[in-house]
A and B are shown apart, each in its own frame.
Chain A
Amino acid sequence: DSGVTQTPKHLITATGQRVTLRCSPRSGDLSVYWYQQSLDQGLQFLIQYYNGEERAKGNILERFSAQQFPDLHSELNLSSLELGDSALYFCASSPRLADTQYFGPGTRLTVL
């Protein structure tokens, strides 16, 4: 157990819908990262927050957005869902920038 929690574990939804994935970092970690894992793209970085501020953006679609709240938990919002958005979404946290990242168990999203 890394100490990073993610909810829900599984999510099944339909195309066009909107979902929210939640992540609670390890106690004391200020930085939160979101990654997408799919069979064709592998593990891809989406977005990073540090102490409430967006720090870096990767291959994140405009339909996706995220935020980090004052208690440091983070949410990833996915809207206008498409079949291709089906993937495993991981959250990771680290104490500081450029430090070891610890991964949560992931949320498996299935878009039907």
Chain B
Amino acid sequence: AQSVSQHNHHVILSEAASLELGCNYSYGGTVNLFWYVQYPGQHLQLLLKYFSGDPLVKGIKGFEAEFIKSKFSFNLRKPSVQWSDTAEYFCAVDFYNQGGKLIFGQGTELSVKP
């Protein structure tokens, strides 16, 4: 079965530190890749997505992600985090043969200290 794995359960950073959250997925076929963010008490919001083309994608709020096909990875990065980035981050994969449903990683809780 297809699966998505996020390496870190909880990450604690100080403001201005750089961020990288790992995401790996199983399966070697065509995929659509997403990062969603969930601020405390709120719903999931799309940060960025990759369908095809340039493997380095830029999203909202200064986030970017790199798709490395050979490693089945789609890591999320931000050069300098802010306190307002405190949230839970979810990697999600649409495996084509699943008809569009998303398989989510376990989520990474990011805490940014002011």
Instruction: Count B interface residues, CB 8 Å.
Output: 23
Give the secondary structure class of A's interface: strand
Assess whether A90 is in contact with B100, with CB atoms less than 8 Å apart: no
Partner-binding segment picked from A20-28, A65-73, A74-82, A91-99? A91-99
Interface contact A100-B43, CB-CB below 8 Å:
no
Chain A, interface size category, equals 20 to 34
Enumerate chain B residues within 8 angstroms of A45, measured Cβ to Cβ. 101-103
Q: Is B46 an interface residue (CB 8 A)?
A: yes
Task: List 15 additional contacts besides A45-B103, A56-B101, A105-B43; criterion CB under 8 Å.
Answer: A2-B43, A2-B45, A33-B100, A42-B104, A42-B105, A42-B107, A43-B90, A48-B100, A90-B44, A94-B100, A98-B96, A98-B100, A101-B34, A101-B102, A106-B43
